[in-house]
Amino acid sequence: MDRRRTPLRLAALVGALCALCFALGALVQSRPANPITREIVAAAERLFGLKFSEAKRDSMLSGLNDQLINYEHLRAVHLPNSVPPAILFNPIPAGMKLPTVRTALRLTPAGPVDLPPRREEIAFYSIGQLSALVQSRKISSVELTKLYLDRLKRYSPMLHCTVTLTEELALRQAEKADEEIAAGKYRGPLQGIPFGVKDLLATEGYLTTWGSVPYRGQMFAEDATVVQRLEDAGAVLVAKLSMGELAMDDVWFGGLTRNPWDTTKGSSGSSAGSASATSAGLVAFAIGTETWGSIVSPSTVCGTTGLRPTYGRVSRKGAMALSWSMDKIGPICRSVEDCAIVFDAIYGPDGEDPTVYDAPFNYTPDVRLSKLRIGYLKSDFDSVRQNRSLNDSVFATLRRLGATLIPIALPQYPVDDMSIILTAEAGAAFDELTRSGEDDLLVLQGKGAWPNIFRTSRFIPAVEYIQANRLRYLLIQDMQRLMDTIDVYVAPSFEGNNLLLTNLTGHPCVVVPDGVSSDGLPASICFMGRLFGEAELLAVAKQYQDATGFHLRHPAFP
């Protein structure tokens, strides 16, 4: 035996033992504190509608425990709500090409507009009328802004529709508008016009609470793109308006946002304050958002007109994310053409939101319904039990305007089941809220409220989320085939699955009042358009609105 080699052999042995100990230590360290067992796997299978053999469960254990460690490592990285997933939703069907030709915005002339004998009546004027008064200097932007600020202070305590008054900013912006107009600098029809935004849009220097207790002290250092674009257009921000907590319903930490038509009732949501304030004449217009009905629903019960644009039309930079593949930002106004004016100011890429497409918006009110193919959802209208006479009146008005109505049916898919796309994304958007336990601070805590929805969303398998999106792809292709046969279609606002289906596919919608429902509140009808077809869609809806005049009604707020 060569004794000279013994120290080297001992050193190698010691080194090997140390490496083994280190590896064993790392292995122990990497094991979950509460490792997954076969029994846990067997119980979990029932959550997902699966069944595996004992041998397969045994094989999965190490992989499942490794995944737990993966989750812990991923959760150690803070992800603000503003960070989107790298996987982007594309609503554009195969083969569809976006339009490229651009024309100037054409609006209906406001005609001669004078100050009313009673100044408060101005609060219910359209943007076009207000713009005519401001541009002609019959009223200054400062005067108009003070009028709306006074109304906000007077009626917000009753309606619970305002989170924050931006009075100092508003008066500064109004003074600037007046100075520019006096100097002959014309920015467009929104110059000097007061508005409000749903309180999920960041506004520098002011709180952005998302309507929720855990975020009520939240403030961002910059404006959302939409807020900035409206400022660039010369509009005057007077208020951050209430929203249902984290974009659901009409309850927030300030209470229930009230309906101006009946203050014993809520204004629906989640763009609750935007619709309530616009309806009550507290702002000239407002900005809302929709993921699944949050513009359509409050616009319906408050009697306002709302535009839910095509997905990918308006930048969501600076907006709270609920569902990255479904969230949309749009205007809530008093008329269709007001929506066109506001949309023209906010749409288009900003270089920040990668989901926004560059497509023109060539609005003109000149459209002949007799030249268009206008569909209607026959089975949905046939299924309506309440307010059927209102729907009959809609059809009669459209036919009187020259329209030939074509019965159509939506593609048949398990649309309601595909709502797991929204809940999975919402659970991810508020992952840290759930894991921290701060979801206990939310106002609503029932089974159908966000805290419980966020928790149950944790049990949606990634595979099922992907499969639902694959079905969504097929749905998009089939919707394109349907839209190839028509230009616009009419739908009941809440019957059937049109509301969810078109939010999944990203199609635009204009909701307009069509009378009074059996409960005494305003009722509505929806006009649906092609992807990126807002211009034609708005023109059709305007024809109906001008022929009926329901949008001219407003609640009795003196």
Q: What is the structure's pLDDT at 15? A: 52
Taking the mean position of all CA atoms in its chain, how far away is CA 76? 29
- Examine the residue annotation and report whether 198 is marked as an active-site residue of this protein: yes
- Residue of 176, 198, 328, 542 marked catalytic: 198
Q: Two tokens at 364?
A: 């003109």
Nearest to 44 by CA among 30, 61, 32: 61
Return the residue matching tokens 């812990």: 72
Rounded to whole angstroms, the Cα distance separating 331 from 307 reads: 6
List phi, psi (to 5°) of 9. -65, -40
Cα–Cα distances in angstroms (integers) from residue 459 to residues 180, 195, 224, 424, 469, in the given order: 56, 41, 33, 9, 17
DSSP secondary structure letter of residue 347: B
Which of helix, strand or coil describes residue 330? Answer: strand
Q: What is the structure's pLDDT at 7? A: 45
Rounded to whole angstroms, the Cα distance separating 439 from 454 reads: 9
Contacts 24+ apart (CB under 8 A), 146-154: 146/171, 147/119, 147/120, 147/122, 147/123, 148/123, 148/194, 148/238, 148/282, 148/283, 148/284, 149/194, 149/238, 151/120, 151/123, 151/280, 151/281, 151/282, 151/557, 152/238, 152/239, 152/277, 152/282, 152/283
Rounded to whole angstroms, the Cα distance separating 251 from 298 reads: 13
- Examine the residue annotation and report whether 270 is marked as an active-site residue of this protein: yes
How would you classify the pairing of strands 162-165 and 285-290?
unpaired
- Let me know how many helices (H) and strands (E) the chain has, helices first: 18, 15
As a three-state string, the secondary structure of 24-50 is HHHHHHHCCCCCCCHHHHHHHHHHHCC
In terms of DSSP H, where are the helices of 233-295?
272-279
Residues 2-23 pLDDT 10s: 444 444 454 444 454 445 444 4
Q: What is the structure's pLDDT at 30? A: 61
Q: What is the structure's pLDDT at 22? A: 46
- Residue of 156, 274, 294, 323 marked catalytic: 294
List the chain residues with pLDDT less than 50. 1-8, 10-14, 16-18, 20-29
Taking the mean position of all CA atoms in its chain, how far away is CA 236? 22
- Examine the residue annotation and report whether 146 is marked as an active-site residue of this protein: no
The model carries a pTM of 0.93
- Residue of 242, 270, 276, 279 marked catalytic: 270
Which of helix, strand or coil describes residue 404? Answer: coil
Enclosing H/E stretch for 23: helix 6-30
List phi, psi (to 5°) of 65. -70, -35
Cα–Cα distances in angstroms (integers) from residue 241 to residues 67, 199, 220, in the given order: 42, 5, 16
Q: Two tokens at 266?
A: 């809520």
Q: Say which residues have a Cβ less than 8 Å from residue 250's Cβ, sequence separation at least 6.
A: 242, 244, 256, 257, 266, 267, 268, 269, 270, 272, 298
Nearest to 325 by CA among 93, 88, 538: 88
Q: What is the structure's pLDDT at 396? A: 98
Rounded to whole angstroms, the Cα distance separating 411 from 276 reads: 34
Q: Two tokens at 76?
A: 């150690």
For the chain, the residue count is 558
Give me the domains of the chain, ranges plus CATH numbers. Answer: 19-75 (no CATH), 119-351+364-413+458-552 (3.90.1300.10)
Q: What is the structure's pLDDT at 3? A: 42
Q: Contact 335/545 with Cβ under 8 angstroms? A: yes
| Sequence letter at residue 538 | L
Taking the mean position of all CA atoms in its chain, how far away is CA 88? 17
* Upstream peptide bond of 268 is cis (omega within 30 degrees of 0): no
Q: Dmax over Cα atoms in the chain, in whole Å?
A: 117
Taking the mean position of all CA atoms in its chain, how far away is CA 43? 37
